[in-house]
Chains A and B, each alone.
Chain A
Amino acid sequence: MVLALLGFALVITLLLRGNNIALFNSKGTIAHDQRSLMVATVAILMLIAIPALFLFFFTAWKYRESNTHAKHDPDSHHGKLLVPFIWLAPASIAAVLAVMLWPAAHKLDPKVAIAADAKPITIQVVAMRWKWLFIYPEQHIASVNFVQIPVHTPVAFELTADEAPMSSFWIPNLGGQLYAMTGHENKINLMGNIPGDYTGSSAEINGAGFADMKFTTRVSAQDAFDAWVSQVKQKGNILDIVSYQQLVQPSQNNPASSYSVTQDDLYDTVLMKYMGPGMNMDMGMQ
């Protein structure tokens, strides 16, 4: 049985070689902190899980029926210490975890800005059926299913959705996910530390095109980022309210594309479409 387990572990290790183990292969500040937290939690849990499991299977083996040497006392009353022990042992582990968890949940709250030397940039994200639109309000450009960010620069992603069910914005190599919802803005701050291309996706099911709702996140040097921005502007594809109406129509497995944005309030219009009685019915509401 030990051999079988070792063999199983070996097969799994071999299969893992050369692949992106996204949650351990952190390329950003947030993913890195989240990974440390996961590892610390598991380590603390092992303090109680390993002795408890060992004690469990050892007791089961020691008091097996065929072992006539072991004591048998059908009416045995446990010692006075048993009850305090079985409550305090797990409670103390839970307390340690709670003490670790409380500040971590605040520090790694996605809307908390990341402290860094570089000036943060903002990217507005609209989840659609079934693609991601990224609007760069400061650069006046936009892209679909592709987002480029400069390295070592905090990025504040502002998430909403349009004509789409709840979707979840997730780039596992850079950090955890957050939901994008219509008429609602969620903020998630991420920062890439190592240049490269990382896959992002919708982690929450949102209909037929769900599995293909993926995008590439390119973390690059600042000058490569600037070059990309000016290249997008030169290409001359325009995103305004008219071409936006085309874009928001449901479509699956979309290739990456990019636009110059001529309308500064595009994101706010999308957000406000769902708010209050004065909804813009032209935006295709039912």
Chain B
Amino acid sequence: MKEFWLGRLSLHALPHEWFTIGGTIGFILMPLVALAILIRIKGWKWLWGEWLTSVDPKKIGIMYFIVAGFMLLRGGLDALMVWLQQALAPSTSVLGAAHGYLSSDHFQQIFTAHGNIMVFFVAMGFVFGLINYIVPLQIGARDLASPFLNTLGFWLYVGGVVMVNMFFGLGGEYAATGWLAVAPLSETQFSPGVGVDYWIWSLQISGIGTTLAGINFIMTILKMRAPGMTLWKMPLFTWGSLCSMLMVVAIFPLLTATLFLMFFDRYLGMHFFTTALGGNAMMYTNLIWMWGHPEVYVLVLPAFGVFSEVVATFSRKRIASYTSQVVGMLGVTLFALSVWLHHFFTMGAGGDVNAFFGVMTMVIAVPTSVLVFGWIATMHKGRIRFSVPMLWFLGFIGIFALGGISGVVLAVPPADFQLHNSLFLVAHFHSNVIGGVLFGIFAGINYWFPKIAGFRLNERIGKNAFWCWIVGFCLSFIPMYILGIMGATRRLDHYDASTGWQPFYIMMFIGGLVIAAGVALQIIQVIASFLQKRRLADLTGDPWDGRTLEWATSSPPPSYNLAAIPEVTTRDAFYEFKNQGGLPKTQYEDIRVPYNTASGIYIAGFAFATCFAFVWHIIWLVVVGILGIIVCVIARTFNDNIEYTLTAAEVEKIEEDRKKRTESQVLEDGEDMSVWEFMKIAIVWALGLIGFKRRVHGN
């Protein structure tokens, strides 16, 4: 009976190791504190009604940012733990491990979780956040093609986030297999625990959400652009997003299918990728990389788009060779699907196959280089402002060049036999993912923050954070390249002191601390900007002298984006309008606005329950979960009352009110505060809290 109700769950699954207890407390405490605050300020109804059930892509975008931001801290902590272990490794035991302070199994779980969290829940989360917020504004759309699919996709992503952290509380182990759970290591024979099951279901649930979002954005970009905005007049961030989403739709079903095959192996005793009975693990390696390689480009194409916008705006010049940029992005999209085998030249495919995929990898470097040359030509004869987004762009070029050079070396099969699975490889992809994707995201956030929040971000602290990231990156990853050349393989939880590797590992850990300081500064940057928001307020809606339509509306924009959608005739539409003396005056019109809906939360909740039930083999809950999904979907389908009309008069009133409010605001004088000034304010505030408590005691 107990087995029926609880499946394989038992008391043993409850946290009983220091890291699971710590994690559980962290993950239960955080929501509890949030809940307490909400009850205190009676904000629950507001949160639920205005945010959680919202179908407004702008609000969903902000929610993506918040979740991805928390996951960045979580994944960053993993990175520091990995580096600390490696820095300590040759020394004797701490906390009961034979080397360093982590057992090898725990260490392997940490780097697996680090990879999964950073790729699926940080990079994907931020990229979807940016696309959600910016693309509809840029193309002059009021909303997405399917606002409901969007909220569903977001909540499935949240389900994946919860699932990937669930092991702290129940089970106590995550996959110890590397971020792609290589077969047959991930099969029950070698990984019998629930760790790999958590891995399967957290990726499955968020992956399906990603596919839905991909379909939604392709529909939106192709069908809902402002009149006159042909594909060849689209802003480049939208182009990058379109390419990225096309690739999502091409590859994520492949991930879903591969995960299902792995699920069949692990749950139904099938033999797709096992060692026995005709299973073929090489097939898994192929399938997972046919998804895994293009996935990197899914992340980096929107980042390229961000950089194209940033370079043009901050050079005060149109983008050079727009056509080459678009063709370059499309070329990357196409060729990205034909290079996956370079992840396993070392599996023994033979000269012809390896040489073909090596050459294809050289080919994909061409459109990428074209983008870089296009950006150089854009800066030529420009007037470059080195604001924070532009700094991230400069940093990106330096680090991405390093990653690109090392990547081409890795693409030469005989060289790859030596470099594969070494720390050189790890340093290479971190150069591209941090330099390309993460810096792109940071540039995008600094660039569009005024649009999102209504005030600019503090420049001084932003620059400090940037330099911490650059210095920290060099301190961490240059030693990592060197370790690779010294023959250090990746994923080692210990090594002999005689190798002479330890100083480099220690340097990497110190670099990690510097990056952590950069992250702390970024958090401070946001808080400090909030404190000075009356000084940094963006009253015009166009703080950077922007070129594309998102700057044509107020900051932050109303729920319907643009009150009147203009007829677009050129690229850089808003810039042209400004040259011609402003946006054309048009009549306000009725706007159809979708109602908020909780259906997405319910469906994702049931999907989460189903996946959780699969992890623990609780069959009744699987059935309930699947039925729940079906019922919710059908109920949603029969709901015809999903939109209401905002009449032209109401829109006019909203616009007039907004105008009055902006005109009545006066900007405060002064400078962006420095970190030290912020520290002073923070300390005074903290002292005030203590003083307040003392007074209470005194009474």
Contact = CB atoms under 8 A, between A and B. Distances in A.
Nearest to A18: B500
B35 interface: no
B346 interface: yes
A255 B528 CA distance: 58
Given A23-B485, A105-B351, A166-B182, A37 B494 contact: no
A117 interface: no
A10 interface: no
B73 interface: no
Interface string B267-299: 000000001110001100100000000000000
A15 B100 CA distance: 22
Given A178-B417, A205-B178, A207-B190, A60 B379 contact: yes
B379 A31 contact: no
A102 B320 contact: no
Given A56-B376, A208-B105, A285-B276, A23 B362 contact: no
Interface string B467-501: 00000001000110010111101111111000110
A21 B500 CA distance: 10
Nearest to A165: B185
B53 interface: no
A105 B358 contact: yes
Interface residues of A, number: 98
Nearest to A214: B496
A199 B363 CA distance: 36
A274 interface: yes
Contacts of A59: 376, 379-380
B386 A38 contact: no
Interface in B495-532: 495, 499-500, 503-504
Interface in B660-692: none
Interface stretch (B74-82, B406-414, B555-563, B647-655): B406-414
A72 interface: yes
A22 B485 contact: yes
Contact of B412 (A18, A64, A87, A104): A104
Given A49-B405, A166-B281, A211-B493, A74 B370 contact: no
B462 interface: no
Number of contact residues on B: which range applies? 35 or more
B577 to A, nearest CB: 15
Given A49-B401, A205-B108, A110 B417 contact: yes
A33 interface: yes
Given A34-B414, A34-B418, A83-B324, A111 B348 contact: yes
Contact of A74 (B316, B379, B401): B316
B365 interface: yes
B561 to A, nearest CB: 27
Chain A, interface SS category: mixed
B397 A53 contact: yes
A170 B489 contact: yes
Interface in A28-66: 31, 33-35, 37-38, 41-42, 45, 48-49, 52-53, 55-57, 59-60, 63-65
> Taking each of A55, A71, A165, which has the highest tally of chain B beta carbons within 10 Å of its own beta carbon?
A165
A55 B376 contact: yes
A191 B357 CA distance: 27
A68 to B, nearest CB: 9
> Taking each of B315, B379, B493, which has the highest tally of chain A beta carbons within 10 Å of its own beta carbon?
B379
Interface string A74-90: 11101000110111011
10 tightest Cβ-Cβ pairs between the two chains A and B: A176-B417, A22-B487, A19-B500, A90-B369, A165-B185, A108-B414, A86-B373, A106-B351, A105-B355, A203-B421
13 contacts: A12-B479, A21-B487, A41-B412, A45-B408, A60-B379, A85-B373, A94-B362, A105-B413, A108-B417, A166-B184, A177-B417, A279-B277, A286-B189
Interface of B: 104-105, 108, 176-178, 182-185, 189-190, 275-277, 281-282, 285, 315-318, 320-321, 323-324, 344, 346-348, 350-352, 354-355, 358-359, 362-363, 365-366, 369-370, 372-377, 379-386, 394, 397-398, 401, 404-405, 408-409, 411-422, 474, 478-479, 482, 484-487, 489-495, 499-500, 503-504
